[in-house]
Amino acid sequence: MKFTVMAAGFAACVMMASAHVAVAQNDFRNTVTGEVLDIYGQAPEAGRDTPAVKKFMQTGVNPYTEVKGCLPKGEEVYLESCSGCHGHVGEGKVGPGLADSYWTYPKNTTDKGLFETIFGGANGMMGPHGGHLELDNHLKLIAWIRHLQVDDVKDAEWLTDEQKKSFKPFNSDEWEKTGRAAALKEKCAISGN
């Protein structure tokens, strides 16, 4: 009897310990309050299990950054949910610009930080978007926002040094003329997709 109770207690401890590891990996927090975000409690069921989402949840790095095939969907989501306040190409309206190197919340220079701000919201009119945007679409949206960048990317934590070398500031005309059509021909995938 005693043994069973101890064994059960031990099993519970092991379970709690492994649950704890998962929480540590998913230590995503609200940008303003610092509260832990309940990602799997709030995100839509669809779009949770893609290789990109799994990788992002473990690393906090967006695997879709610079994957051209992901940009058209990212653009679509942006135009649907964000451009009304942040401007057509992130130039800023009632919400701040997202295409320059100034960030109210410095953590938005990282993919994890930007995800947290979009998922959980910030102050005032910047409401939470975690409940209606699929997780995989969050990553496409973030790739699109990064693509809109027009400032120097030397402090851009979302790019590797290699990516910085080949980065070109967003050019709206070029995107309209050739960029979108070329991106639509490519897949939005990372290895493992």
What mask of x and - would describe binding to ligand HEC in positions 55 to 94, judged by CB under 6 A?
A: --------------------------xx-xxx-------x
29: β partners: 36
Which one, 129 or 146, has the nearer CB to ligand HEC? Answer: 129
Q: 158: which 2 tokens? A: 């979302």
Binding status of residue 135 toward ligand HEC by CB under 6 A: no
Long-range contacts made by residues 86-92, C-beta under 8 angstroms, separation at least 24?
Answer: 89/148, 89/170, 89/172, 90/145, 90/148
85 annotated to bind ligand: yes
Minimum CB separation of residue 76 from ligand HEC in Å reads 12
**d(C-alpha 70, C-alpha 190), whole Å:** 10
Three-state SS at 86: helix
E strand segments, the chain: none
Least distance to ligand HEC, CB of residue 83, Å: 8
Is 86 known to sit in a ligand binding site?
Answer: yes
Considering the complex, state which of residue 52 and residue 82 has its C-beta at the smaller distance from ligand HEC: 82
Give the footprint of ligand HEC on residues 107-126 (CB under 6 A): 108, 114, 117-118, 122-126
Residue 110: which of 146, 76, 141 has the closest Cα?
Answer: 146
- Non-local (6+) Cβ contacts of 154 within 8 A are 164
Do 103 and 95 meet the contact criterion of CB atoms below 8 Å apart?
A: no
Q: Which stretch binds ligand HEC (CB under 6 A): 22-30, 38-46, 103-111, 177-185?
A: 103-111
Q: Which residues bind ligand HEC (CB under 6 A)?
A: 81-82, 84-86, 94-96, 98, 103-105, 108, 114, 117-118, 122-126, 129, 141
